[in-house]
Structure 1
Amino acid sequence: MKTLRCTYPIIILACVSTQSLAAGFQLNAQSATGLGRAYAGDAIIADNASVMAKNSAAMALFDQPSLSVGAISVVSDVDITDASYTPSRGQTVDASVDDIANNAFIPNFYYVHPIADSGLTLGLAMYSNFGTSVEFPDDYVASEFGGETSLTSINIGLSAAYQVTEKLSLGAGLDIIHGEGKITRGSLLDVEVDGVDYGFNLGLAYEFNDDNRIGLSYRYSPDLEADGDVNMMGEGEASSINIPLPDMLELSGYHRVMPKLAFHYSVQYLQWSEFDSLTSDEFSSSIKDYEWADAGHVSVGTTYYPSESWELRAGYMYDHAPTDTLQSMSIPDSNRHWLSVGTTYKLSPSQSIDLGVSYILGEDTAVEESLTVVGESHINGVVESSAWLFGLQYNHSF
C-alpha cells in the first residue's frame, strides 16, 4: 500500500485522501466521535467541541470552555479491474491497476468558549472538508487517463453562536480555506498550484427539551482560485486555476428515548453541480470537465450510555456519488456504505477519550472515458473501493 506522507509544523494542517472517505472529494473526517456513529446527528449532538465543524449554532449548548483534539487514520484500497485501453493508434490492451488511492492521516482541533452571562459563545476550528489523492503508476499504459490527481485543504473556522431564546440558538462563522492541487497527465497536463479563499456558514439549533433537539446548517464554499504553474497541451502555460467547491446543507436530530439510549440522524446535501469543470482564466478551453450532479448522504445511529464513565455508539451511512453522465478515471467515484462503531471513556468529569472505527464499502461502478487531444483514445473499467478509518480524540472541559 502506498502512503501519502506529509510533514507540517503544527497539527492544524492535514494530509488527506478521500477516494474511500466520501463521495466526490468531500471529507467525512471531522472527528473520532462522529466517525463512531457514521456522523449521524453530528450537527446537533454537541457532546464535544467538534460539533462546530458541522453547525456553529450548536456551540450555544456549551456552558463551559471545551477543547477537542484528534486525528483519523485512513487505510484505503481502490482498484480498477476488467479495464481495457484503446490508444489513438494501436491495439486495445489491458489497463487494470491496483491500489491507486493514497492512505492518509487527518488531524483536527476545536475550541469553544462561552462568554459568561451574555448568551454568546465563540469558537475556533481547524480541520478539512475537501481532499483527494489518486496516483497511478508512472508506467501506467493509459497515462493520459491516469497520472496523479491530488487536492489537499485546510479549513480554519472562526465562529460565534447566540442563544436567542431558551430553545433557539443561531450561529455564523467565517471559513478561511487553504488548498493545494497537483494534476499530471503524462505530457498532456501538468498543474501544481495553491491558494486561499473565504467561505461562511450559518446555523440553527432548536431544543425541544433536554432529550430532543434538531440542528440545521448551511455552508457556502467558494470557487477557490489557486496560483502556480499550469501547463496544458494545446493551450500553453497559465499561472492560476479555478477549483469550484460545493455548498453544503445539513439537517441533524438527536432524541434520547430512554435514560440509557438515544437515536440520531443526519441528512446532508451537497451542491456538487458547482463542480462542472477545472478552468483557468488564461485558457480558452477547460482544463478538465466533470459535470457532476448534486448529491449527499443519509446517516442513522444510536448511542448507549451504560454508565457515567462509558458511552457506546454505532451508525450507518449511505453516501451517494455525484458522478453523472460524464465519468473520470482520475476521480473514480462510487456510492458508499459506512458501518461504524465507537466509544467514549471519561477519564474524569472534565476529560474524555473517544475512539471510532468505520468500514466503508464502495459499490462496484463501471467507468468509461474518452479523450480527443491527440487523436481519440478510450478507456473503460470497473472501480472497486473500500477503506478502514480509525479515529482517536481527546476532549477537555475547563
Structure 2
Amino acid sequence: MNLKTLLFAGGALLSGTAASAGGYQVTLAGQKNNGMGGVGVGLSLDQAAMFYNPGALAMVKERGVQLGVNATLARQAFRAENGGTQRELQNTTTTPLNFYAGFGPAEGKFRAGIAVYTPFGSKLQYADAWEGRFALTQIDLKSIYVQPTFSYAITEQLSVGAGLMILALGSVNLQRDIPAQNAEGKFASIELDGKAERKLGFNAGVFFKPSSMLSVGISYRSKIDAVVNDGDVTFTNLSNTATPAFQATKFKATLPLPATTSIGLGIMPTEKLTFGFDVNYVQWSAYRNLEFQFNAPVNGATSSTSKRYYQDAVTLRLGGQYQVTDGLTVRAGGAYDNSPVKDGYVTPETPDADRITGTIGASYKFGENFSLDFSTQFVSLKKRTVTQQELLDNNTTDRVAGTYKTQVIVPGVGLNYTF
C-alpha cells in the first residue's frame, strides 16, 4: 500500500464538499446575504457586516443581536473511470451557525461587536465498498471562529473597521479502508481524529458611501494555518501479519485557510430597492502540499507529502433586495465560483469544480424589534473528471480516477433583535 493514499483524506481538514464556495471555503455567514448571492462587502445590511466588511459596521443604523443557522444538504455521485456502478454519497446534513451582537451609542460614530460563525465544516459518507474506499469512506469536520470587532465612522460617508479572528474550536475525523484483510475477510480501516490548535488572524475593511444611491467597500481576511499537533490514529481489523507495519498512534498536519480580498459595490436606485455586486479573490495558491507526520511507522514511513498545487480563484456575486411592505423584504441573487483545484489534482474529500449558485430569501418584521430572515441557496457543481493518465502524469496516484457530480441545497433561517 502506498502511504500517500492515507494523505489526501486529510485535505478536508476543517473543510467539506458541501461548502457554498470553491475549495473548502464556506460563505454562509449572514442570512440576508445568503439570499442575495452572498454579497455584502459594499453594503451595510446588518450586524453580519462584521464578517463581510467590518468597516461597514459603523454605518449599520440599528444595534442588535442576531442568530442564524443553515442546513447544507449535499448529493454527490461518482462513477469510476472504468465504468461500473454509480456511487452516491449517503445522505448528509451539516448546520453552519452564525451569531452577531453589535453595540454602540445610538448617535455615536463607533460600533463594537462580537461575531461567532462556522466558516469551515462538513460531514460526508460515501457508499459502502465504493471504488475510492481505500482513500476515504467518511469525514466529519467542525470549526468555530470568534471575532471581536470594532468599527469607526471617520465621516458621515467613510468608515473603517477591523476584527480579530480566533480559530476557537476545530476538529476533524477521517476514516478509510486499508487494502489488507484479516482472518475473517474484513478490510482493515484507519481513523484520524484530532483537534486544531487555537490560531489568530484578522479581518479588516473600509466602507465609503458618497451618496444615498451608491456605496463601495473593500475587505481583507488574513490566512490562518489550521494545525493539528496531537491527533489520534486508530486501526481496526488489522491482521496479525499487518500489525507490525501500522504502529502510529499520533499524527500532525497543517492546512492553510487562505487569505481573501473582496471588493463590493452597492446601488440603491430607490429607498426600497438595493443591488449588490461583490468580487472575492482567494489566495488558494498557499495550499501547495499536504504533509503528514506520524509518531511511528505507517507501512514503513513516518511522514509523507501529497500534492495539492491549488491556484488562486475568483468568485463573482450579484444580488438584490426589495422592500415590498414595511414588514416584508424579498431577495434574490446568484454567484459564479471558479474552482482552485487543477485538472489531475481532484480528490474525493474535495471533488471541487466550477460552480453556479442561485439564491432566494425574505425577511419579515413583526413588532418593533424582532424580525425573521429566510434564505435558500441552490449550488450546482459542474461534472469533474480526473483520469488515470492525469494522475500518472502529475504523480498524484494517491487519489482515484473517475467523474464526480455534486449538488447542494442550503436552506437557512435567522432571528434578529434590534434596539
TM-score tier (shorter): 0.7 to 0.9
Corresponding residue for 1:241?
253
Residue of structure 1 aligned with 2:175, choices 152, 171, 184: 184
Corresponding residue for 1:319?
337
Corresponding residue for 1:351?
370
- Which of the two has greater helix per residue? 2
Q: Is residue 2:227 matched to residue 1:225?
A: yes
Query: RMSD between aligned alpha carbons?
Result: 2.7
Letter in 1 for 2:21: A
Q: Is residue 2:167 matched to residue 1:164?
A: no
Question: Structure 2: any 5+ residue segments left out of the alignment?
Answer: 1-13, 179-188, 236-244, 295-300
Residues 248, 271 of structure 1: 8 Å contact kept: yes
TM-score (norm: length of structure 1): 0.85
Corresponding residue for 2:23?
24
Corresponding residue for 1:214?
216
Per-residue deviation, 1:277: 2.5
Q: Matched residues in 2 for 1:397 and 1:270: separation?
A: 33
Per-residue deviation, 1:122: 0.7
Residues 37, 319 of structure 2: 8 Å contact kept: yes
Partner of 1:175: helix, strand, or coil? strand
Letter in 2 for 1:119: K
**CA 1:100–1:28 in structure 2 vs 1: closer, same or farther (change >3 Å)?**
farther
Residues 15, 25 of structure 2: 8 Å contact kept: no
Partner of 1:308: helix, strand, or coil? coil
Per-residue deviation, 1:218: 0.4
Q: Matched residues in 1 for 2:68 and 2:290: separation?
A: 33
CA deviation vs aligned residue, 1:8-63 (integer Å, no higher than 9, x gap) = xxxxxxx98543522211112112211111112x1232222122111111110134
**CA 1:228–1:201 in structure 2 vs 1: closer, same or farther (change >3 Å)?**
same
Q: Matched residues in 2 for 1:204 and 1:377: separation?
A: 44
CA deviation vs aligned residue, 1:87-112 (integer Å, no higher than 9, x gap) = xxxxxx73631025722122211011
Point out the more displaced range, 278-287 or 199-208.
278-287
Question: Structure 1: any 5+ residue segments left out of the alignment?
Answer: 1-14, 86-92
Corresponding residue for 1:264?
276
Partner of 1:33: helix, strand, or coil? helix
Letter in 1 for 2:306: K
Corresponding residue for 2:385?
366
TM-score (norm: length of structure 2): 0.81
Q: Matched residues in 2 for 1:332 and 1:305: separation?
A: 39
Residues 216, 249 of structure 1: 8 Å contact kept: yes
Q: Matched residues in 2 for 1:261 and 1:116: separation?
A: 25
Matched length: 372
**CA 1:149–1:289 in structure 2 vs 1: closer, same or farther (change >3 Å)?**
farther
Q: Matched residues in 1 for 2:399 and 2:366: separation?
A: 57
**CA 1:271–1:230 in structure 2 vs 1: closer, same or farther (change >3 Å)?**
farther
Q: Matched residues in 2 for 1:390 and 1:266: separation?
A: 22
Q: Matched residues in 1 for 2:398 and 2:277: separation?
A: 45
Residues 201, 219 of structure 1: 8 Å contact kept: yes
Q: Is residue 2:141 matched to residue 1:151?
A: yes
Per-residue deviation, 1:307: 2.2
Q: Matched residues in 1 for 2:25 and 2:176: separation?
A: 23
**CA 1:287–1:242 in structure 2 vs 1: closer, same or farther (change >3 Å)?**
same
Partner of 2:57: helix, strand, or coil? helix
The alignment-based identity, stated in percent, is 23
Q: Matched residues in 2 for 1:247 and 1:377: separation?
A: 27
Per-residue deviation, 1:351: 2.1
Per-residue deviation, 1:393: 0.8
Q: Is residue 2:32 matched to residue 1:33?
A: yes
**CA 1:119–1:182 in structure 2 vs 1: closer, same or farther (change >3 Å)?**
same
Point out the more displaced range, 346-355 or 152-161.
346-355
Residues 145, 330 of structure 1: 8 Å contact kept: no
Q: Matched residues in 2 for 1:150 and 1:368: separation?
A: 27
Point out the more displaced range, 48-57 or 137-146.
137-146
Q: Matched residues in 1 for 2:289 and 2:170: separation?
A: 17
Q: Matched residues in 1 for 2:110 and 2:398: separation?
A: 59
Q: Matched residues in 2 for 1:342 and 1:244: separation?
A: 32
Corresponding residue for 1:12?
none
Per-residue deviation, 1:300: 0.8
Corresponding residue for 1:8?
none
Residues 140, 172 of structure 2: 8 Å contact kept: yes
Letter in 2 for 1:29: L
Corresponding residue for 2:77?
79
Per-residue deviation, 1:330: 2.5
Letter in 2 for 1:111: A
Point out the more displaced range, 305-314 or 285-294.
285-294
Q: Matched residues in 1 for 2:69 and 2:215: separation?
A: 27
**CA 1:185–1:71 in structure 2 vs 1: closer, same or farther (change >3 Å)?**
same
**CA 1:84–1:210 in structure 2 vs 1: closer, same or farther (change >3 Å)?**
same
Corresponding residue for 1:198?
200
Letter in 2 for 1:186: D
